[in-house]
Structure 1
Amino acid sequence: MDHQFTILIPLYNEEDNLLRVEQELSSYIKKAPLPSRVLFINDGSTDNSLKLLEEICKREKDFKFISFEENRGLSAAIKAGFDEVQTPLTGYIDADLQTHPEDFDLLLEHIPEYDLVTGVRTDRKDSFKKNMSSLIANGIRRSFTHDGMDDTGCPLKVIKTEYAKRIPMFNGLHRFLPAMVLLQKGRIKQVPVRHYPRIAGKAKYHLMNRLVGPLVDCFAYLWMKRKYIDYKIARRNE
């Protein structure tokens, strides 16, 4: 089978969620509109996650994983996934499954006309503090990037792989994917998706790294934007 769509699942210490992830993603790719595969990126987990991934990928022929030697953060995990992908389209979902794989279909409907389609979480099931910190962080980021996106932290995205592979690596990358596609003269769109409470495992973010991190990363983004090199080859002598 020639796969067309690779779903990235970065994870760090998510052993309590992985069997449910296997069930939901296995069910989804059987009926997905495109031939699909799953790629886990284990970000140096210190629990039983790696052992579970080895077992899952033996059972599921369309599931693969890579594993870091040590914890390097979400941006590094996403970038490593982008580097590994060989399919024309790349998706991203978190291992906590607070978004549903079936909603990839909502995003894939628009990907022929756009280069990145991201979810916007509706009726969020997070705490008031988490929702408010996310709202403030998105406002800060939007004032710097002018990308027009309401929820860049939504862990459900589809991007054309050619654009993903041209995104340079820096910490905080995951907050700026729409802005990075715009720098490449790409087209972006946001689509409402469902949101669910976390039912297992622990959240990896708290108030300080939801607010301070995005602010610091915005200055890194502005520096990178000034230095960014963008080109397209018009002709090649074979």
Structure 2
Amino acid sequence: MNVALSVVIPVFNEAENIRPLLAEIVAALETVWHFEIVCVDDHSQDGTLEVLRAAQAELGLLRILHHAARAGQSAAIRNGVKAAHGAWIATLDGDGQNDPVDIPKLLKIRDAADPAIKLFAGWRIDRQDGTSKRWGSRWANRIRTGILHDDTPDTGCGIKLFERDAFLDLPYFDHMHRYLPALMQRAGWKTISVPVSHRRRIAGESKYNNITRAVAGISDLRGVAWLIRRSNPVDVREIP
């Protein structure tokens, strides 16, 4: 199957949000030939899977993966990327806060960019979340940047565009999706941040809070910093 772009969406308990989001993605990309949507249901308990099945009957370009047990967002993204047919991957959160109209924007920037840039990361410059959540993310980004020096103002933004092969070559661990710029840079690739829009959540509840993120983040930061210190990327070329 000749697919130029795969849109991968990790979904957990987003029954009210996912169907409108799918319609927006199709509207945003309908002029782009050969794209697919891969939704990865992380064992939702609210009817999300049933909504996806109904949508699939209408959208032939929609594929559905289902986790038999809750595995987390990083696992959902990686499994979606592994199953994707496209050479390039666009990711979106399933809550509808990312605007699909930003995908063509990222694609246009990619087409004019240095081929060494393998990740185009969304940057929510006008974030539409509560004060506590924005404050927590601001401090987390400062701490992460100070330790990893990844020159990325917003790693938590769900909308990203990256090369499939480059992503699958990265080391996998839980929560790795929050460290993609640093991991790509460790592998020898370049990354850039692109301003994107952000919307308020219309339905459902956020799956994270500052405390759970902080607890996981301390261990993750130490691990990623260790990976960077131990990395030794080398340009390898076959001699004809």
**TM-score relative to the length of structure 2:** 0.92
DSSP 3-state at the match of 2:109: coil
Q: Where does residue 191 of structure 1 map in the other structure? A: 194
Q: Where does residue 21 of structure 1 map in the other structure? A: 21
Task: Name the CA shift for 1:17/1:215 in 2 (closer, same or farther; >3 Å).
Answer: same
Deviation at 1:231, TM superposition (A): 5.7
Q: Where does residue 30 of structure 2 map in the other structure? A: 30
* Residues in 1 aligned to 2:165 and 2:68: alpha-carbon distance in whole angstroms: 27
Task: Name the CA shift for 1:45/1:228 in 2 (closer, same or farther; >3 Å).
Answer: farther
Q: Where does residue 90 of structure 2 map in the other structure? A: 91
CA deviations 1:82-133 (Å, max 9, x no partner) are 2112211101000111111011122112224221101111221111100000
Q: Where does residue 12 of structure 2 map in the other structure? A: 12
* Residues in 2 aligned to 1:86 and 1:168: alpha-carbon distance in whole angstroms: 21
| Number of equivalenced pairs | 236
* Residues in 2 aligned to 1:222 and 1:184: alpha-carbon distance in whole angstroms: 13
* Residues in 1 aligned to 2:42 and 2:229: alpha-carbon distance in whole angstroms: 30
* Residues in 2 aligned to 1:27 and 1:98: alpha-carbon distance in whole angstroms: 16
Query: Identical aligned pairs, as a percentage?
Result: 28
* Residues in 2 aligned to 1:27 and 1:229: alpha-carbon distance in whole angstroms: 43
Asked whether the equivalents of residues 141 and 215 of structure 1 are also in contact (C-alpha less than 8 Å), the reply is no
Structure 1 gap segments, 5+ residues each: none
Larger displacement relative to structure 2 (96-105 or 78-87): 78-87
Task: Name the CA shift for 1:230/1:51 in 2 (closer, same or farther; >3 Å).
Answer: farther
* Residues in 2 aligned to 1:223 and 1:83: alpha-carbon distance in whole angstroms: 26
DSSP 3-state at the match of 1:80: helix
* Residues in 2 aligned to 1:105 and 1:228: alpha-carbon distance in whole angstroms: 34
Tell me whether 1:107 sits opposite 2:106 in the alignment.
yes
Deviation at 1:236, TM superposition (A): 8.2
Amino acid at match of 2:166: Y
* Residues in 1 aligned to 2:160 and 2:126: alpha-carbon distance in whole angstroms: 18
Asked whether the equivalents of residues 38 and 62 of structure 1 are also in contact (C-alpha less than 8 Å), the reply is yes
Q: Where does residue 205 of structure 1 map in the other structure? A: 208
Structure 2 gap segments, 5+ residues each: none
Amino acid at match of 1:111: R
DSSP 3-state at the match of 2:206: coil
Q: 1:180 aligns with which of 183, 188, 194?
A: 183
Amino acid at match of 2:14: E
Larger displacement relative to structure 2 (62-71 or 101-110): 101-110
Q: Where does residue 158 of structure 2 map in the other structure? A: 155
Larger displacement relative to structure 2 (20-29 or 194-203): 20-29
Q: Where does residue 64 of structure 2 map in the other structure? A: 65
**TM-score relative to the length of structure 1:** 0.92
CA deviations 1:46-77 (Å, max 9, x no partner) are 12011111121121011101111011111111
The CA RMSD over aligned residues, in Å, is 1.8
CA deviations 1:148-199 (Å, max 9, x no partner) are 0000001110001121111111011011101111011111111111111000
